[in-house]
Chains A and B, each alone.
Chain A
Amino acid sequence: TQLLEQSPQFLSIQEGENLTVYCNSSSVFSSLQWYRQEPGEGPVLLVTVVTGGEVKKLKRLTFQFGDARKDSSLHITAAQPGDTGLYLCAGLNNAGNMLTFGGGTRLMVKP
Chain B
Amino acid sequence: DAGITQSPRHKVTETGTPVTLRCHQTENHRYMYWYRQDPGHGLRLIHYSYGVKDTDKGEVSDGYSVSRSKTEDFLLTLESATSSQTSVYFCAIRKAGNTIYFGEGSWLTVV
Task: Please list the residues of chain A having a beta carbon within 8 angstroms of any beta carbon in chain B.
Answer: 1, 30-31, 33, 35, 40-45, 48, 50, 88, 90, 92, 96-104
Contact = CB atoms under 8 A, between A and B. Distances in A.
Contact of B31 (A43, A50, A97, A102): A97
A38 B73 CA distance: 26
B104 A42 contact: yes
Contacts, number: 56
Interface size class of B (residues with CB under 8 A): 20 to 34
Given A41-B105, A42-B105, A88-B42, A98 B48 contact: yes
Interface of B: 31, 33, 42-45, 48, 50, 56, 58-59, 90, 92, 94, 97-105
| Binding site secondary structure of chain B | strand
A101 B99 contact: no
Contacts of A103: 42
A44 B100 CA distance: 10
Given A33-B99, A45-B101, A96 B94 contact: yes
Nearest to A103: B42
B56 A43 contact: no
A95 to B, nearest CB: 10
B95 to A, nearest CB: 10
A41 B100 CA distance: 16
Contacts of A40: 105
B22 to A, nearest CB: 15
